A and B are shown apart, each in its own frame.
Chain A
Amino acid sequence: MDRLFEFMLPEAKSPTADSTDALFHFINEVSLVLLIGITIALIYFAIKYRRRSEDDETPVITHNNTLEITWSVVPLLICFVIFGWGYTGWLNLKSVPDNAYEIQVNGFKWGWNVKYDNGAQTLNEIHVPEGRPVKIVLQSSDVLHSFFVPDYRVKHDVVPGRYTYVWFEAEEAGESIVFCTEYCGTGHSDMLAKVIVHTEEDFQTWLEKNGGGVSGTPVEQGEQLVQLQGCTTCHSDDGSRLIGPSFKGLWESEETLSDGSTVTVDENYLRESILNPGAKIVESYDNVMTPYEGRISDEEITNIIEYLKTLK
């Protein structure tokens, strides 16, 4: 039986999972005992007391206070235990250890932008050290999302206009999947990320190598930015059709808009489409992109445009 319940949960990879898993098993066991009892009673009564003739006489049993009290109070007591257990486990999920390493994660339609203390940035990859508590500070650029790591049994909604957090402590090097669990539109089910756990040493090396954020020539910076900002989730660089128009061959092309007018793709059109994408929608595409107003600097926009010019 224990093996069945263990099969139901993914392998636990953080101490935050311990209390949750134990309670999950406990409730399953109690429920299963009761369910078997109920089922046996149903089947046994249905056979033992089956109707033998339409004139069957049945005894008048109206109620029994002892029974009523028993089957009210016993489940209530079990529920109190479950409440207390769940509550203490949850307090632990809320109480971040003091020495936690902090990582900023920004959810947007549709991806996770990750920033580290030394300025390093990643998209849909959260690099963490093993054996050290990590606090993920969550914020959203657009609608509600929810940050869920099944392996760590942690989840929190990502709410625009406020900060929320989760914490965990990855036990050993490896990878764990991150899901968005609050419905957020077309790309909701593709809004996945990975927690990549390094040994402490590897993590420091990785952090130093990627520190300082984007670098290089404007075109190189632009190329890194379209990755980090999640542009490539919806815009391909090889001409294939995703949620938005492909970047390939976009520069100086003639586009028909949803209102029938045409526009030539130049710097100002691209700038407008980044800051206020709903203003001019290319025909046959939906108005679903998040406005980048306030999330991106003028210099970054310029670098992205420089990069787009190279995608002939």
Chain B
Amino acid sequence: MATAEVSNKKTLKVQRFKPSDNPSNTYLTDEKGVWAWMTTVDHKKIGIMYLVAVAIFFAVGGALALLLRTELMTPAKTFIEADTYNQLFTLHGAIMVFFVLVPSIPAALGNFIMPMQLGAKDVAFPKLNLASFYIYVAGAIFTFIALAQHGLDTGWTFYTPYSTESSSSVIWVTMGVFILGFSSILTGTNFITTIHKMRAPGITWGKLPLNVWALYATSIIQVLATPVLAITVLLLTMERWLGFGIFDPALGGDPVLFQHFFWFYSHPAVYIMIVPGFGIISEVISTFSKKTVFGYWAIALSSLAIAFIGFLVWGHHMFTSGQSAVATTVFSFLTFLVGIPTGIKIFNWIATLYKGSIKMDTPMIYVFIFLFLFSIGGFTGIMLGALSVDIHLHDTYYVVAHFHYVMMGGTLIALLAGLHFWWPKMTGKLYNEKLAKIASVFIFVGFNVTFLPQFVMGAQGMPRRYYNYVDQFTAFHQTSTIGSYLLGVGFLIILYYLMHSLFKGAKSPANPWGSRGLEWQATSPPDFHNFDHTPVVIHGPYDYHQPMEEFQLGLAVDTNGHDSETAKEVVDKEREQWKNYSLG
């Protein structure tokens, strides 16, 4: 009986595949030309296209921010009119949230890296992946049509009844956001399927890189929350266009209902923006301290906990809105609960450093900046969750500062960490480390000079979205504006050395950081199919105590690599063999 069972199974051999430092074929040399790029279903090229699109939107959103800050140099008019100012802050917010932060990490870096971390050739639905990108572009076109018409002056939150009555092009933008949402939902669906079905032999849930766990949690939120945003903007469009009375009290609606709808998406959306950043931090901190991540399951599961509890706290944006007292109390309580998993992550990351072998290269510098800035963002979030204090701080610059500390100090800094970490993998080039460090100083100093004064003036009473302000806040505003210029300089330096690296940079080896991550066992840049073999994984992604050779395994016989029974057998067998193997 037992022998019959064994004989039914195929025996497969595993061999070592050391990635070449000088690959002859890469995804960049295959399928060249504009048309090939535009019609590609390769997750790497799609990731790069997202990255370029996100970078362009970031440049636009950033330029708007600099204009805003320049206007705020003086308490009254500096150089633009109130209506223009209102349009600028609305567009800055809408572009940064919907076109930069939401797609930045999952759709750009995630698309490129996640299938490689799974040892897969591509995502589960490559054509759907390309469709997501074009849906994103379509959403962007709608938004640009709005700009060409009457712009948008409602704030990125579209609060009714102002957005019902505004004479700006609200419908174009809401339709743009509606379309954009599908891109987000499709990417989420694609990622969930990929993570479930496309893992290379040996990658159990316990060996999943934390970046993949983070993207998994994010995808769940994207799939569940984004439809509510679609409903919200559709209802708003119907109210504006057809006069349905849903939110406007003049038509028998309720404006507070709109806020419930809006934040039911938009609070989970901040986790769509930050959780993928957590994934990057875990990858980078482990690589640059050459050490296994402390509390793997604590970090992995806290992402899922955040994804779940994040759905239950939307009302904390509405403590002063006139929602019921019971709702306010419950939402405040739940808000503190969602803070805990985030705190757990921070502590685990710091513990990872303990007794590590820490190298302060640029990605690691950004991780340190992240840990500092995001902690401040977290603490001020606790401040805003406290009911009585929030009543005072709500809708002041304190909230603006808090939001930027978590979204820019968190997500965007994590994105910079990830971009510097994976840049050699994506482009096959190294960047100027010295310039990168100089830029990180500009970013860190500029960021704090911009946003720390905003906490103080906010607590002193400075309301947000103000074109004119009272004289007592002048010094804070001017400091903040100077900081924003420093930030601008920092980003220009980054743009310069990355472009320089792209065209004239030194060639990168396959694994410049000595990382144990599977994506680093491909060539830099990777092969068109990521790996020219089916990788086999026997160790966890952070097992720095295991020799590098054992991370470079692949099936010696050509199979699709996704036959789990055979794969498991192969892995078990291989593990037995390596147990007695010594490098001597």
A contact set with B: CB distance below 8 Å? 7-10, 19-20, 23-24, 27-28, 31, 34-35, 38-39, 41-42, 45-46, 49-52, 54, 56-64, 67-68, 71-72, 75-76, 79-80, 82-83, 85-90, 92-94, 142-144, 146, 148, 150-151, 153-157, 159-162, 164, 177, 179-190, 192, 286-288
User: Complex formed: what's the CA distance from A9 to B159 in Å?
Assistant: 28
Assembled-state Cα–Cα distance A95/B331 (Å) = 20
Contact (Cβ within 8 A) B162 A144: yes
Asked if B467 contacts A188 (CB within 8 A), the reply is yes
| Nearest CB in chain B: distance from A38 CB, A | 5
Bound CA–CA A288/B347 (angstroms): 51
CB of B389 closer than 8 Å to a CB of A: yes
User: Chain A contacts of B383 at CB under 8 A?
Assistant: 24, 27-28, 31
Q: Tell me, in angstroms, the Cα distance from A186 to B329 when the chains sit together.
A: 34
Other CB < 8 Å A-B pairs besides A20-B389, A38-B346, A87-B329, 5 of them?
A27-B379, A46-B353, A49-B356, A155-B391, A192-B470
- CB-CB under 8 A from B291, the residues of chain A are 58-59, 61
Minimum CB–CB distance from A25 to chain B (whole Å) comes to: 10
A34-B357 CB under 8 A given contacts A39-B372, A143-B162, A155-B320: no
On whether the beta carbons of B372 and A38 are closer than 8 Å, the reply is yes
**A181 with B395: CB separation less than 8 A:** yes
- B544 to chain A: which residues have CB within 8 Å? 58
Total of A-B residue pairs, C-beta within 8 Å: 268
Asked if B82 and A155 sit within 8 Å, CB to CB, the answer is: no
**Contact indicator per residue, chain B 444-460, by CB within 8 Å of chain A (1) or not (0):** 00000000000110011
Complex-state Cα separation, A182 to B558, whole angstroms: 63
Also in contact, A8 and B463, with CB within 8 A (given A27-B386, A183-B155)? no
**Max count, chain A CB within 10 A of own CB: residue among B86, B329, B459, B544:** B459
Distance to closest chain B CB from A75 (angstroms): 5
**CB neighbours of B294 from chain A (8 A):** 61-64
* Nearest chain A CB to B375 CB, angstrom units: 5
Closest B-chain residue to A38, C-beta based?
B375
The digit string for B157-181, where 1 denotes a CB below 8 A from any CB of A, is 0011110011100000000000000
Give the shortest distance, in Å, between A168 (CB) and chain B (any CB). Answer: 12
A143 to chain B: which residues have CB within 8 Å?
161-162, 165
Interface-located stretch among B102-110, B137-145, B249-257, B265-273: B249-257
Write out, one digit per residue, whether chain B residues 565-577 have a CB within 8 A of any chain A CB (1) or not (0).
0000000000000
Does B390 touch A at the CB level, under 8 Å?
yes
* A50 and B394 contacting across the interface, CB-CB below 8 Å: no
Q: A154 contacts B391, CB within 8 Å?
A: yes
Check B461 against A60 for contact (C-beta < 8 Å).
no
Given contacts A75-B343, A155-B320, contact A38 B371 (CB under 8 A): yes
A121 to chain B, nearest CB (A): 24
The reply to whether A54 and B344 contact each other, CB–CB distance below 8 Å, is: no
B322 touches A179 (CB 8 A): no
Which one of B15-23, B53-61, B295-303, B427-435 is at the A interface? B295-303
Interface residues of B in 300-347 (CB under 8 A from A): 319-322, 325, 328-329, 332-333, 336-337, 339-340, 343-344, 346-347
A72 to chain B, nearest CB (A): 6
Within the complex, the shortest CB–CB distance from B370 to chain A, in Å, comes to 11
Q: Quick check: is B468 within 8 A (CB to CB) of the other chain?
A: yes
Check B343 against A82 for contact (C-beta < 8 Å): no
Residue of B at shortest CB range from A161?
B249
Within B68-89, the residues touching A (CB, 8 Å) are 82-83, 86
A67 to chain B, nearest CB (A): 7
Kindly state the separation between the CA atoms of A311 and B332 in the bound complex, as whole angstroms.
Answer: 54
From known contacts A58-B289, A79-B336, infer whether A182 and B388 are also in contact, taking CB-CB under 8 Å: no
Give bound CA distance, A20 to B384, whole Å: 12
Asked, given contacts A56-B357, A93-B391, whether A177 binds B461 with beta carbons under 8 Å apart, the answer is yes
CA distance A27 to B387 in the complex (A): 12
In the complex, whether B122 has a CB less than 8 A from a CB of chain A is no
**CA A94 to CA B326, docked complex, whole Å:** 12
Taking the nearest CB of chain B, how far is it from the CB of A85, in angstroms?
Answer: 7
Asked if B392 lies at the interface with its beta carbon under 8 angstroms from chain A, I say yes
Residues from chain B with a CB closer than 8 A to the CB of A72 are 340, 343-344
In the bound assembly, the distance between CA atoms of A190 and B343 in angstroms comes to 40
Our pick among B256, B290, B372, B394 for the contact of A181 (Cβ within 8 Å) is B394
In this assembly, does B132 line the interface, its C-beta being within 8 Å of a C-beta of chain A? no
Question: Does A49 lie within 8 Å of B358, measured CB to CB?
Answer: yes
A240 CB, nearest partner CB in chain B, Å = 14
The 3 closest A-B pairs by CB, nearest first: A89-B388, A150-B461, A161-B249
- Pairwise interchain contact B353-A42, C-beta atoms closer than 8 A: yes
**Could you list some 27 contacts between A and B, CB below 8 A?**
A24-B389, A24-B392, A38-B375, A49-B358, A51-B358, A59-B355, A61-B292, A62-B294, A67-B351, A68-B348, A72-B343, A72-B344, A79-B337, A82-B385, A83-B332, A83-B333, A83-B336, A85-B386, A90-B387, A144-B160, A155-B394, A159-B256, A179-B461, A183-B86, A186-B82, A189-B466, A288-B167
CA distance A183 to B67 in the complex (A): 19
A156 touches B459 (CB 8 A): no
